[in-house]
Structure 1
């Protein structure tokens, strides 16, 4: 297998996942309430073994060694689910994003307590990084972790735009333990949702999945709640985002392919001006452009994921590849879904139509886990870094950079 092709087993697995999503998961998604965690859907993802694929073989709740899902496998899974049921894809991705800090950086006790129920779909996880004043500039976090005099800290402040909030069972929270230290002064904590002083409010957003704000009013956390090391939490955040960033592109590709296939069917059946729409050159050229961009995005996502698997997350060029993959895939999906709506006409704007649903879903990925502008910044900085005598462009939008060396 190369980075640009799939073997028969992978192709069959993708087909199987599409069928599972359409027949088992979509009915559960349709029964869910927009803006709220769909726990039956999360439980079904656990029962089907899909959540377990998110965690490599390490400790409690992990997939046995050799059976875990690498970056490419995660991309194939997210693309396949997104094609048939975006709600299932999002629920799976949010479980991975929220629990990966625990899996990769948690203590044995933390992993033993939380990973088995996450893998089974019985506990809902959330990744609490963004704040009202710290979105793309993740190093500007202001949630304060102040020493409480007994070896622990008190968390005071807010988090905003947190997926699965306020209904998650626990949060991977990033707070400032050393004021004025930038990315060097952030610590990651595992905070159960029932911790005293933690409250949340749901936010009504364009996309239908649950998003909310969190308020921390002196929430106590101890050394047993730290994920990784004190003042090294920025690395926890970045390694988590780097793990999932290429697969955001896969989510986008799945939506683009779904919109493209719907457009192919519609333009072949719909008659206008004396014949099917597909016979109009302007329509044929538009569909050809949609298909070409979708395939190009897919190949870049696969290549970035395959490089991550074969070379490792810290290898030269990995961050650039991942940024390019997310950038082209999310921008492409926006273009393809918009073009599909145009070719379908007013019917695509009707509530409940596939494209109406995709039109609401497709906008957010260009912003979350690093906006398109941030991805361009990462790409440019890596390109200039290749030139030893060229000054790198200055930016504070370092949401996906690795923590600077101590």
Structure 2
């Protein structure tokens, strides 16, 4: 907005109080200066109108501001008011000069001297608020006048200050208002969904709502409090939006569970039934092991896993009937995990018991395989092998079976076969 007319005004020698005199300007100099000043006034007027029309300044004027934004806007608004006052005083001087110049096409020396004082002297009276303390007295501020160029410089400083403050507030609102409004709409949607699910209050949703309300009030009344190093800090708002996404996802999951509940119940019921069947098999297999295996050293399998799961499922059904879907969702997820864990536990206990019986069957198979190998080697009549075979068979087909003893016998049976096989090879 700066654009002084010093280059068109020669011989300026007036001080701040108007003392002294300036060399009169020529008629051509006066006309040139007036033309430049009128152009300058149009640019200044357009800039002020544009500033007043900025969305940011309209928001600041219409908002109920607090805190840092209120303090800075009060300062900027005062500067804006002073800017207009100086501009009015500037215009009055310019209009007076134009009116004086228009009286005669060829002004006399006295008129030229007066015009020179208006155009290049201290002719613009400052508003009271702009007079420094050192220029005031007990009775009030003394009149202070400045030149047109100095008035333009002061207006430029005030304009830049106001524009900078308005731009800062506008930048903060631009960065914060849209995500804030999106977060508020997300909260409203989540609240509506929570109400349809169980009609009760959701503690986390309530907490986020309180935080969002406080944050919204601050964004709308004090956006400049969010500025950090010249940029809006959206960290607090981002955290609230993340919490809302988490709650929203949770509620959406609850809604899906409500809509898909029959299928979910069917699946968890199938897992419970398999758990019960596996429990029975594990118990039966364990009892078989106790009868058929000597000192199995097995812990007793679990009992009642399926029954406990069915009780929990029945409790969930009561929550469903009461429409308490949010509470139910968490408990249903826990039931699903518990059912999978119970099934895996029952399977593991079944594998432990079945493994001992499988071990006995494996040893029986190895015994017959070793005997067949002995026959192929022509050792079927070997007394040592015959005795070992009889001993192993007695152990493996007698209940309870001593697996450790049977394993040792089979190892000896295999060693004798290998030794006999080596001797036969040596003789050849």
Give the TM-score, by structure 2 length: 0.21
Between Structure 1 and Structure 2, the one with more helix by share is 2
Structure of greater relative contact order (alpha carbons < 8 Å, 6+ residues apart): 1
With structure 1 as the length reference, what TM-score do the two structures score? 0.22
Normalized per residue, which structure has more strand? 1
